[in-house]
């Protein structure tokens, strides 16, 4: 596991599963009257709406006082949520998933790569549907760099979840998490979006996943991995992937859960369904891992790739990507991977000889692991 760059005494790790006798646990919050708030167009922070209106730099939004009608969302979303059990020589475990696409004869399910990777070469994956039925699942494809995997079951006409827009989330907005923490299928918890674009890295050295994460205080625990995070309309906005724990090793939710934004995950999922594999954007640089200053220092360039084509020199220190500050190489990697191959991004650097310069970079494409 890696230390999360924004926490001095907190560690972030994948949410490992555990087998527990099946039961149902639903945590809901009482409904309160709707409240009108203003969302800052730049920071996405929430502010109270004066006389029901907002300034030109903020957008009016209506939310429930405690969040949302969790009971209604639970009823609508739960049929799309599944529990996943993995059995393999490399280890057994459990997690969660969400039905993404369905036809008359089969269905595709999104989960985390770390939930099913022990069965990637040998082993079995079994899915429990919301109604208690079991189905054998096959792994369509997986991407360890984004911690995304896609399963297929030979069962059709299931209820696929409605896909939302994670780019429209606001800090303070209510969200609801679904999954099977500690094997307790059918668990629902509610909270808010605590932060956006949180750079998170998790996994073992050399096999890390980099996530431009949604941070939430909705209770997420071991076994929630791969389950959906939905907004106030019940639309999918994230895939629950990691939790932060105290450096003492204390496990369980401390109000610091992280989800992969669905806008980022959807591209990977669609590629896997179409081709069995996925790609990632490629900046074409090697970072200086010994650099301790602010930013991400370019040690060398990959010949013929995006950074060199744009004119970024070796020795430059990346300080901003698309207007977001870059304080270290983890943040730089996460920011780059939040885009798609072929997208154009503005990269601002401190030049080796002094001064600052902004480059327009067309991201390349590389196969994901």
> What kind and span of H or E run contains 330?
helix 329-337
Cβ-proximal residues to 132 (8 Å cutoff; 6+ apart), any chain: none
pLDDT digits (tens, 9 = 90+) for 158-185: 999 999 999 999 999 999 999 887 777 7
Residue 196: strand, helix, or coil: strand
Residue 203: strand, helix, or coil: coil
- Active site residues per annotation: 114, 147, 225
DSSP structural state of residue 4: -
Domain 1-31+66-277 top-level CATH class: mainly beta
Q: What is the pLDDT along the chain (369 residues), one digit of tens a residue?
A: 333 333 333 445 555 433 322 223 333 334 445 556 677 666 656 666 667 778 878 777 655 444 468 888 989 999 999 999 999 887 788 899 999 999 999 999 999 999 999 998 889 999 999 999 999 999 999 999 899 999 999 999 999 999 999 999 999 999 999 988 777 777 899 999 999 998 887 765 556 678 889 999 988 888 888 999 999 999 999 999 887 766 655 566 677 889 999 999 999 999 999 999 999 999 999 999 999 999 999 999 999 999 999 999 999 999 999 999 999 999 999 999 999 999 999 999 999 999 999 999 999 999 886
What is the per-residue pLDDT for 79? 94
Q: What's the sign of the alpha-carbon dihedral 91, 97, 102, 105?
A: positive
Report yes or no: 188 and 179 within 8 Å, Cβ to Cβ: no
Report yes or no: 341 and 261 within 8 Å, Cβ to Cβ: no
The partner residues of 281 in beta bridges, in order of sequence, read: 365
Burial class (CB in 10 A: 0-12, 13-18, 19+), 292: exposed
Kindly state the tokens that stand for 359: 């480059």
- Residues 200 and 211: their CA atoms lie apart, in Å, by 5
Predicted TM-score (pTM) of this structure: 0.80
What is the per-residue pLDDT for 26? 34
- Residues 117 and 324: their CA atoms lie apart, in Å, by 33
What is the per-residue pLDDT for 252? 64
Kindly state the tokens that stand for 47: 């502010």
Report yes or no: 196 and 43 within 8 Å, Cβ to Cβ: no
The HSE-up count of residue 345 (CA atoms within 13 Å, CB side) is 27
Question: DSSP assignment of 208-250, as one string?
Answer: -EEEEEEEE-S---TT-TT-EEE-TTS-EEEEEEEEEEETT--
Ranges for all domains in the chain classified under CATH 2.40.10.120: 1-31+66-277
Superfamily in which the 280-367 domain is placed by CATH: PDZ domain (2.30.42.10)
- Residues 342 and 311: their CA atoms lie apart, in Å, by 17
Using DSSP bridges, classify how beta strands 93-102 and 134-143 pair: parallel, antiparallel or unpaired: unpaired
């Amino acid at each position: 596991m890696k230390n999360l760059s924004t926490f001095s005494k907190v560690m972030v790790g994948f949410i490992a599963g555990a087998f527990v006798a099946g039961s149902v646990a639903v945590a809901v919050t009482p409904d309160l009257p709707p409240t009108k708030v203003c969302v800052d167009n730049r920071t996405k922070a929430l502010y109270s709406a004066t006389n029901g209106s907002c300034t030109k730099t903020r957008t009016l939004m209506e939310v429930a006082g405690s969040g949302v009608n969790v009971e209604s969302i639970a009823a609508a979303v739960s049929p799309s949520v599944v529990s996943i059990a993995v059995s393999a020589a490399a280890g057994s475990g459990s997690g969660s998933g969400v039905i993404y696409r369905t036809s008359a004869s089969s269905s595709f399910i999104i989960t985390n790569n770390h939930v099913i990777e022990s069965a990637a070469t040998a082993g079995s994956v079994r899915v429990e549907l919301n109604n208690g039925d079991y189905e054998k699942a096959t792994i369509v494809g997986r991407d360890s760099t984004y911690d995304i995997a896609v399963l297929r079951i030979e069962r059709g006409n299931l209820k696929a979840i409605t896909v939302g827009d994670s780019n429209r989330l606001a800090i303070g907005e209510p969200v609801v998490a679904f999954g099977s923490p500690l094997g307790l299928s059918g668990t629902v918890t509610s909270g808010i979006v605590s932060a956006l674009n949180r750079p998170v890295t998790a996994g073992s050295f050399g096999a890390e996943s980099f996530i431009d994460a949604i941070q939430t205080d909705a209770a997420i625990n071991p076994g929630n991995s791969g389950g959906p995070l939905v907004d106030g309309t019940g639309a999918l906005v994230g895939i629950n992937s990691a939790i932060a724990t105290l450096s003492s090793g204390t496990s369980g939710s401390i109000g610091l859960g992280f989800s992969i934004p669905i806008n980022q995950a959807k591209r990977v999922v669609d590629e896997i369904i179409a081709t069995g594999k996925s790609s990632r954007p490629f900046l074409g640089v090697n970072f200086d891992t010994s650099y301790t200053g602010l930013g991400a220092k370019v040690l060398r360039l990959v010949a013929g790739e995006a950074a060199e084509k744009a004119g970024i020199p070796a020795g430059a220190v990346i300080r901003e990507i698309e207007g977001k500050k870059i304080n270290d190489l983890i943040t730089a990697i996460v920011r780059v991977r939040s885009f798609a191959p072929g997208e154009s991004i503005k990269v601002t650097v401190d030049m080796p000889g002094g001064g600052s310069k902004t480059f327009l970079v067309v991201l390349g494409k590389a196969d994901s692991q």
